[in-house]
Amino acid sequence: MSTKKWFVLGISGATCSGKTSLANRLHKELENSVVIHQDNYFLPIDDPRHIKIEELNHFNWELITSVDWDKLHSDVLKLIESTPNGNTCSDTIDKNILILDGFLLFKCKVISDLCNRKYFLTLTKEQCWERRKGRVYNPPDVPGYFEKVVWPEYLKHIDELMKDKNLCKTIKFVDGSKSKEEIFQTIFAEIKKLLS
């Protein structure tokens, strides 16, 4: 007897590229799915591990060190090693699906390695700013944070991904400026095919 298998789907990309909307929509449409958001694992604001940008008097929330990856990894392992829905039939074709959403997912090797399928949503700087400027964060962005921190960190991050040829081959890059519906339909069709 073995537990039902988990199919792990990683959705990453630029800030405001539609990752969370896509993850939530897939979760709604895919039976036996669970979604975990990286944003729920940011270190508390009073955590001494945060890196402060003195010039802006604001923490850098774009760094891999701003997230409690140990906790996230532990929660993911607990979930995929569990027996979902009490189902222990090994002959079932229904897979359980874990949807991971976060802008730094593939930077964390242990998380990235768990993903059976990886998507990365891209945006141009202009598109990204257009969406980001209307968002309210907790803590709120300070003036200059996007220009001085968010975008440069994103460029650094995507550059690192591109340089890691083996990792890059496993990621499907998606134009995040397309309509949410088009992106969803394309990815949903691919996932259904992979699971059939």
Q: What is the pLDDT of residue 91?
A: 42
For 92, which DSSP code?
Answer: -
Helix (H, G, I), strand (E, B) or coil at 59: strand
Q: What is the pLDDT of residue 83?
A: 62
Say yes or no to pLDDT of 175 above 80.
Answer: yes
75: annotated active-site residue: no
The topology (CATH level 3) of 7-191 is: Rossmann fold (3.40.50)
pLDDT digits (tens, 9 = 90+) for 80-116: 887 655 544 444 446 899 999 999 999 999 999 999 9
Lowest mean pLDDT among 50-59, 77-86, 172-181, 186-195: 77-86
Q: pTM of the prediction?
A: 0.91
**Tokens, residue 182:** 């088009």
Q: What is the pLDDT of residue 22?
A: 97
Residues 15-43: what's their mean pLDDT?
96
- Active-site choice (39, 47, 70, 175): 39
Say yes or no to pLDDT of 166 above 90.
Answer: yes
pLDDT digits (tens, 9 = 90+) for 109-146: 999 999 999 999 999 999 999 999 989 888 899 999 99
CA distance 21 to 16: 10
CA distance 53 to 56: 6
Confidence class of residue 4 from pLDDT cuts 50, 70 and 90? low
Spatial CA neighbour of 1 closest among 92, 93, 88, 79:
88
